[in-house]
Amino acid sequence: MIIEELLTLPPWVEFEGVIFEFQLINNGGGEIRLVYAINGVEDSSPHKAHYDAYGSWLNKLADPVNMPPQGFLILFEGIDSDPWLLWAIRECWYWLQARGLLSDDPKKRYG
């Protein structure tokens, strides 16, 4: 069940020239982090200068007014059980879908 749910998430997501890679990270102590972390920034991206200077981007999807600098697109932390992992996967999918970041175009999904 978990594998099937994980396969609904794209391995990469692109937003305004910033490429985010899907990662599951074991934080130790039985906790997992589900994240779309910055993998790279295209030269034409409006976020390129900020990324080059700070290694992050100004995430207007998180807070369009304050735009916090972040090294990720979306992050779920403290996942410590299978039910919480399934919840995080589904929430992530819905979040990406609501922002138009899921694509049927293989070039957009797989680079």
pLDDT, one tens digit per residue, over 18-52 is: 999 999 999 888 899 999 999 999 999 999 999 99
- Which range of residues forms the domain containing residue 8? 2-101
In a domain, 108, yes or no: no
Each residue's pLDDT tens digit, 58-81: 998 888 788 889 999 999 999 999
Residue 31 lies in a domain: yes
Q: What does DSSP assign to residue 103? A: -
Quote the distance between the C-alpha of residue 28 and its chain's center.
21
Residue count (the chain)? 111
Question: 105 pLDDT exceeds 70?
Answer: no
- Residue spans of alpha helices (H) in 1-111: 2-6, 48-54, 82-98, 106-110
Sole residue written with tokens 């304050």: 66
- Strand pairing report for 57-58 and 69-70: antiparallel
In a domain, 48, yes or no: yes
Is 110 inside any structural domain? no
Domain count of the fold of the chain: 1
**Tokens encoding 79:** 């996942």
Domain presence at residue 30 = yes
Residue with structure tokens 């981007």? 57
